[in-house]
């Protein structure tokens, strides 16, 4: 099951993919594209309790999707129907790209950096070199920059900072969108930033199942954001 959405200003794109083996039961007879209002969907999803079983049903050519939330003890069943929308845009095929720079860092550290630098300015400049990465911002009150060194391997993989790069790169991005993306932080201990000249940044979080002892990867959420063209580097 995959999902795509674009913000109203068409600057950023989100793409979610969940493998069928991440579901307890999964049946899909043929490919089906469903248009849905995300605000409606999120309102309904909030009505599920934490340990409810969620069933999603959609028929061929129907104008609605059905969500069933079943409590553990089965004495309570909630059934919601959401009207579908006709979408103007088609599902986008996003080409697989190889990126010049890939940075893996703790997801909560990325979230904090974006939030902190939002205090200083509207945009962050990400400068990547072999030994580390620098996040910088500037504004009326002054400037700020946060440098992360690549960590030694092996110890505490969830706290590692890993940089793989072919060439040094420096790009600026609107922090407003990155702060939205960082709301996915609880999904994954690490986030991956992928960058190349003149293509959108990819911010990717893996989605694992809830098996604490042996978690397996069942999908991902990827955010795409174009770099700021008028690159006002603050350094």
Which positions touch a copy of itself (CB under 8 A)? 37, 40, 43-44, 46-47, 49, 64, 75-83, 109, 112, 116, 119-120, 140-149, 151, 161
Output the smallest distance, CB 112 to a copy of itself, in A: 8
Q: Smaller CB distance to a copy of itself: residue 57 or 83?
A: 83
Output the smallest distance, CB 22 to a copy of itself, in A: 25
Confirm if 147 and 133 have CB atoms less than 8 A apart: yes
Residue 186: Cβ within 10 Å count: 10
Q: Smaller CB distance to a copy of itself: residue 121 or 200?
A: 121
Residue-by-residue DSSP string for 49-75: -TT-EEEEEE-TT-SEEEEEEE-TTSS
Output the smallest distance, CB 74 to a copy of itself, in A: 8
Cβ partners under 8 Å of residue 156, min gap 6: none
Q: Smaller CB distance to a copy of itself: residue 64 or 209?
A: 64
Q: Smaller CB distance to a copy of itself: residue 21 or 63?
A: 63
Q: Round to whole Å and give the CA distance between 226 and 54.
A: 35
Q: Return phi, psi of residue 142, to 5°.
A: 155, -145
Q: Round to whole Å and give the CA distance between 125 and 123.
A: 7
Q: Smaller CB distance to a copy of itself: residue 116 or 122?
A: 116
Output the smallest distance, CB 178 to a copy of itself, in A: 15
Cβ partners under 8 Å of residue 61, min gap 6: none
Output the smallest distance, CB 71 to a copy of itself, in A: 9
């Amino acid at each position: 099951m995959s999902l795509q959405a674009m913000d109203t200003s068409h600057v950023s794109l989100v793409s979610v993919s969940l493998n069928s083996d991440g579901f307890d039961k999964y049946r899909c007879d043929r490919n089906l594209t469903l248009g849905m209002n995300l605000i409606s969907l999120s309102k309904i999803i909030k009505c599920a309790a934490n340990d409810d079983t969620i069933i999603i049903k959609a028929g061929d050519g129907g104008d609605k999707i059905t969500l069933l939330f079943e409590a553990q003890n089965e004495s309570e069943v909630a059934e919601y129907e959401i009207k579908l929308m006709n979408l103007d845009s088609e599902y986008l095929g996003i080409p697989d790209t190889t990126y010049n720079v890939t940075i893996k860092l703790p997801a909560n550290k990325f979230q904090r950096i974006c939030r902190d630098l939002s205090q200083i300015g509207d945009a962050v400049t990400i400068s990547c070199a072999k030994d580390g990465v620098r996040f910088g911002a500037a504004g009326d009150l002054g400037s700020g920059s946060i440098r992360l060194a690549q960590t030694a391997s092996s110890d505490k993989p969830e706290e590692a900072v890993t940089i793989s790069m072919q060439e040094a790169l420096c790009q600026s991005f609107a922090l407003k969108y990155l702060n939205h993306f960082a709301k996915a932080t609880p999904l994954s201990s690490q986030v991956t930033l992928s960058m190349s000249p003149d293509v959108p940044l990819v911010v990717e979080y893996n989605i694992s199942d809830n098996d604490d002892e042996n978690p397996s990867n069942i999908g991902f959420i990827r955010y795409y954001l174009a770099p700021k063209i008028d690159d006002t580097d603050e350094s």
